[in-house]
Chains A and B, each alone.
Chain A
Amino acid sequence: GQQLNQSPQSMFIQEGEDVSMNCTSSSIFNTWLWYKQDPGEGPVLLIALYKAGELTSNGRLTAQFGITRKDSFLNISASIPSDVGIYFCAGQPPYGGSQGNLIFGKGTKLSVKP
């Protein structure tokens, strides 16, 4: 089945640093979504992307829908302590097969540099 490769698996941030993470797939997606999940909570939607090449910002967050429809990246500028958490990319395949299916990456865990 379709899989998403999300990288890096984990990273340490220092306040004020910029952060980048990305997702790649072997298949195309119609939609790319980025979520943040804190421990014991459900994922919170950060950004939704619907068109290849689309670049969308939400405050300090910027995400892009890759032109091949097989990848997406998320950038966080000037990180702050509350950015710590697990970030998931999710893609929605074209209709057919398991309709409504969101396929998730394994997550990028952001932690504070010791």
Chain B
Amino acid sequence: ETGVTQSPTHLIKTRGQQVTLRCSSQSGHNTVSWYQQALGQGPQFIFQYYREEENGRGNFPPRFSGLQFPNYSSELNVNALELDDSALYLCASSRERGREQYFGPGTRLTVT
């Protein structure tokens, strides 16, 4: 059984640019959540997708957006990048909403 995978592993962008991060959910999982983890902190919830619909959103501005595809993989898009967006972005999948979430290895985004 393949776990959650994310791409790319690392990314360096310039302030003002846009970025797309990708996530493949674990086999049999229909729910994907995205988190931002700043250095030395716990992950912060960005949003969750269930069956291609947004199922909840944390305290992040609209320039953070996402998509879920019919195969349950997902994208996180961030527009107008700011220096504070530098963080580890984690994707997690679960079998159903409300069930335990399994995390991928993350994408390290650096904004200069």
Contacts and interface: CB of A to CB of B under 8 A. Distances in A.
Measured as residues with beta carbon below 8 angstroms from the partner, the interface class of chain A is 20 to 34
Given A1-B59, A88-B42, A101-B48, A30 B98 contact: yes
A92 B4 CA distance: 20
A43 interface: yes
Interface stretch (A11-19, A77-85, A102-110): A102-110
Contacts of A30: 98
B48 A43 contact: no
B103 A99 contact: no
Interface in A46-105: 48, 88, 90, 92, 95, 97-105
Given A31-B98, A33-B100, A41 B45 contact: no
Given A98-B45, A100-B31, A105-B42, A41 B105 contact: yes
B28 interface: no
A93 to B, nearest CB: 10
Interface residues of B, number: 30
A99 B47 CA distance: 9
Given A43-B43, A106-B41, A99 B100 contact: no
B106 A103 contact: no
Contacts of B43: 43, 88, 102, 104
Contacts of B31: 100
Given A44-B103, A92-B98, A100-B33, A106 B56 contact: no
B56 A100 contact: yes
Nearest to B59: A1
A101 B106 contact: no
Given A42-B90, A43-B43, A99 B106 contact: no
13 contacts: A4-B42, A42-B90, A43-B43, A43-B103, A88-B43, A98-B56, A98-B57, A99-B55, A100-B33, A100-B97, A101-B45, A102-B101, A104-B42
